[in-house]
Amino acid sequence: MKNLLYLCLFGLIVLASCVSEKKEVPIGTYYGVLPCADCPGISYELTLENDSSYIEKMIYQDRSSEVSQHKGNFVMDADGMITLSDKHSSDGTRQFKVNEEGILMLDKSGNPIEGSTAALYQLRSSKPENFNMKLKEKSFVGFKASGNEPFWSVEMDFHKNITFKPMEGEPITVPLTKPVRPQDVNAVTYRAETEKGSLQVTIFKEPCQDTMSGKEFGHRVTVRVKVGDEQEYKEYSGCGDYQGDYRLNDIWVLESINGEVFMKEGKSPNLEFNLMENRFYGFGGCNRINGNITLENQKVTFGKVVSTQMACPNLEKEGVFLKKLNDQTYDFIISEGRLTLSNEEDELVFKKID
């Protein structure tokens, strides 16, 4: 009887030990900076919820222009192995192991990753010092110009700054300012100052020929530069052009949608593209409209259309037109004074205002 009692007591101890060793689901958010071959690191964030769902976020530092995000469900076994169940077995960020420090990311076979970077796969509830989810700043060199004797170049990033590069000496970078339009001249001027110096760039809309190559450009450019404590400006002249298909930068009147004349009576809708601002303005048929645009090669993406709220007989027609623009992406072609926007569903044809 005594031996039977000892045996039961031992069984209870073993059972209690098994129960105590069962891992609890580590609800919360875990962070790490994973190794990256061509960037400072991959900021990785995994949130595990009470309902067995998860949210995974990832950014390649200094490279990603948007957050890579994935949502799904996970399962955890008695040994603390967490599996993101909706992911394929070949996915690298699929399995994890609960440990004292948080959760450890495993390789595709479910084993701890070895080597000199092994410690970087440990995810913790606190963010590492080098963890960040900052997106790469958008950059668009929207205008380039250059000149000879002496050689120089200018690049204008319409999201950020202007950089002047002389053949000799240090480049000068200044913030992009709002353009000033000189009176009685078809031109725009940008002026800015920093501790390193002052820069003034004027772009004239007139034909220009490179003095060395003979290449034709659509704009004549003058640059005035003053470095450091210099009292006098140095002046440069040359040629340049806006990058991409700058012919889009104009006012276009809508003629037809999907081959049918859109407005038989009343004033037709129009669009004015401003590539320096990455915006569009125009008339919808009743109200004034505007919004953001994004250009990529020969594609234009319209953002949300903002409109005034006037009422008029053509309001229904305007609604059709705005729906064709709102959050839509089109291939565009400019030929013989006409702009054609087309995607899988629609084709919009505009005529350039002379």
pLDDT (tens digit per residue) in 176-187: 888 888 888 888
Please tell me the distance from the alpha carbon of residue 190 to that of residue 203, in angstroms, as a whole number: 9
Question: Of 9-13, 221-225, 276-280, where does mean pLDDT reach its minimum?
Answer: 9-13
Most trustworthy range by pLDDT among 25-34, 60-69, 86-95: 25-34
Confidence (pLDDT) at 342: 95
- CB-based contacts of 73: which residues, under 8 Å, 6+ apart? 52, 53, 54, 84, 85, 86
DSSP string over 304-345: PPEE-----TTHHHHHHHHHHHTT-EEEEEEETTEEEEE-SS
pLDDT at 225 over 50: yes
Distance CA(139)–CA(65), nearest Å, equals: 10
Label residue 112 by pLDDT band (50, 70, 90): very high
DSSP state at residue 212: T
Strands 219-227 and 234-242: antiparallel
Q: Rounded to an integer, what distance in angstroms lies between the CA atom of residue 25 and that of residue 151?
A: 65
pLDDT given at position 3? 53
**Residue 89: pLDDT band with limits 50, 70, 90:** confident
pLDDT at position 211 is 86
Whole-number percent of the chain with pLDDT over 70: 90
Task: Report the alpha-carbon distance of residue 89 to residue 187 in Å, rounded.
Answer: 60
In whole angstroms, how far apart are CA 106 and each of 23, 93, 109, 120, 123?
Answer: 17, 8, 8, 11, 11
Give the pLDDT confidence of 14-42 residue by residue, as tens digits. Answer: 444 444 455 789 999 999 999 886 678 89
pTM of this prediction?
0.44
Which of 244, 306, 311 has its CA nearest to residue 281?
Answer: 306
Q: Tell me if 105 sits within 8 A of 117, measured CB to CB.
A: no
CB neighbours of residue 185 within 10 Å: 12
- Closest by CA to 159, choosing from 59, 249, 294, is 294
Domains of the chain, each with CATH number or no CATH: 21-123 (2.40.128.640), 141-242 (no CATH), 246-352 (2.40.128.270)
Q: What pLDDT does 18 receive?
A: 46
Q: Of 94-98, 224-228, 253-257, 281-285, give the lowest mean pLDDT range.
A: 224-228
Decide: 61 and 43 in contact? Cβ < 8 Å. Answer: yes
Quick: pLDDT tens for 280-329. 999 999 999 999 998 877 889 999 999 998 888 878 899 999 999 999 99
Provide the edge-to-edge strand list for the sheet that holds 81-84: 28-34, 42-48, 53-60, 68-76, 81-84, 95-99, 102-105, 122-123
Sign of the CA dihedral 173, 244, 336, 353? Answer: negative
Region 3-12: mean pLDDT is 51
Position 38 scores a pLDDT of 67
Nearest Cα neighbor of 276 from 304, 248, 239 is 248
- Residue 183: what pLDDT? 83
> Are 327 and 227 contacting, i.e. CB atoms less than 8 angstroms apart?
no
Q: What is the pLDDT of residue 17?
A: 46
Mean pLDDT computed over every residue of the chain: 87
Local structure of 194: helix, strand or coil? coil
Task: Select from 161, 154, 126, 170 the least CA-distant residue to 140.
Answer: 161
Q: Are 29 and 47 in contact, with CB atoms under 8 Å apart?
A: yes
Size (the chain), residues:
354
Of 81-95, 131-145, 156-170, the poorest mean pLDDT is in 131-145
List, in sequence order, every residue forming a beta bridge with 57; answer none if it has no partner. Answer: 45, 69
| pLDDT over 90 (residue 51) | yes
**For residue 46, what are its two tokens?**
């995994």
Residue 197: the pLDDT is 86
**pLDDT in the model for residue 237:** 95
183: which residues sit within 8 A by CB, 6+ positions away? none
State the pLDDT at residue 341: 96
Neighbour-count burial for 47-79, b at 16+ CB within 10 Å, e otherwise: ebeeeeebebbbbbbeebeeeeeeeeebebeee
More confident residue, 140 or 302: 302
Per-residue model confidence (pLDDT) at position 340: 96
User: What pLDDT was estimated at residue 189?
Assistant: 93
